[in-house]
Amino acid sequence: VAEPLENYYAILRGRRRARYLECRSRKISFSRTVPDEEGWRIHREAMAGRGEVEEAETSLLDLKILLTARIMHRCHLCERRCGVDRTAGERGHCGVIEPRISSDFLHMGEEPPLVPSYTVFFSGCTFDCVFCQNWDISTRPEGGMYLPPEVLADRIERRFRGGEGRPFDMTPRNVNWVGGDPTPNLRYILQVLQSCRANIPQVWNSNMYLSRESMDLLEGVIDVYLTDFKYGSDDCARRLSNVKRYTEVVSRNHLQAAAQGEVIVRHLVMPNHVECCTKPVLDWISEHIPDSLVNVMRQYRPLHLAGDYEDIARPLGHREFMEAQCHAERLGLNLVG
């Protein structure tokens, strides 16, 4: 799997710097009161490799944090575009106000190239999946605890240094931002990275329902996008996750993720959804982002509210999974897991 994750492995081997370190070392000049439009123009220039000012006291990462904070005044971090002022304590659809961490630990159950993965689980989510396997986290945005960004950065640093020299190498290979979904916590994540020093890849583990603006802000920060591509049909997405324009938004963001990082796509095969969802999703990957790694997942369980939905009220059948797996193999996808 070295080729689809070439940049990731180069960071692990110390041959490249993680993108967030590059972003923080790019000096650009802007004022804290810069109008939005001008701030985005400076951002575009910087992302195109222009506008560096050696003596500037502000960095590209500082600008990204400022622009994220502006978005939160009329929140459109995700495509629900609630428009609430989260900085004034208003709750949008996800219910997240301040970032609450439900747990952070060394995850050994992710895809083999990612393990061990220092995983940070945020409370709350932008989706309402009736089958959510993490519903205890995703439906309680006020659960868990707030850690100041520099405290979490210190925990990351200590994990990164503390694993070296042990009998089994328990040094995390990445920081894995997940939930629920990490999207409502983008500003906080950038603030954590402002205090980090470790050359460690950053993984964005998400449902990929971000706004265009959030995707633009992730560019130059995230090394690997570990995505969920659940549905091949907007009707299924509306009925089971309460989201609109799913295929348009999520496919758009996958294209952007593949252009600005490396991608591992997860697809959870669900009972009775092989024809309407699994096959169209795998076909799309094959056509549009064939270099990505793909994990066709069989671990569906009818949790949370799934028992109320006849089509998904049972575990996945063996035949259904094999049909999905064989379809992926026929397409020649880079399968992992």
Residues that bind ligand SF4 (CB under 6 A): 75-78, 80-82, 84, 86, 92-94, 96, 126, 183-184
Is 113 or 124 the residue whose CB approaches ligand SF4 more closely?
A: 124
Please enumerate, as own/partner, the contacts of 201-204 that have beta carbons within 8 Å and a separation of 24 or more.
201/8, 201/11, 201/12, 201/18, 201/173, 201/174, 201/175, 202/18, 202/19, 202/20, 202/174, 202/175, 202/177, 203/114, 203/117, 203/174, 203/175, 203/176, 203/177, 204/177, 204/257, 204/261
Residue 56 beta carbon to ligand SF4: minimum distance, rounded to whole angstroms: 30
334-335 vs 174-178, strand pairing mode: unpaired
Is 4 or 124 the residue whose CB approaches ligand SF4 more closely?
A: 124
What is the number of the residue whose Cβ is closest to ligand SF4?
Answer: 92
Is 74 or 239 the residue whose CB approaches ligand SF4 more closely?
A: 74
Residue 93 beta carbon to ligand SF4: minimum distance, rounded to whole angstroms: 4
Residue 335 beta carbon to ligand SF4: minimum distance, rounded to whole angstroms: 32
Is 91 or 314 the residue whose CB approaches ligand SF4 more closely?
A: 91
Is 21 or 77 the residue whose CB approaches ligand SF4 more closely?
A: 77
Q: Measure the CA–CA gap between 110 and 101, rounded to whole angstroms.
A: 19
Residue 146 beta carbon to ligand SF4: minimum distance, rounded to whole angstroms: 17
The type of residue at 109 is G
Residue 209: closest CA among 76, 331, 83: 76
Residue 82 beta carbon to ligand SF4: minimum distance, rounded to whole angstroms: 3
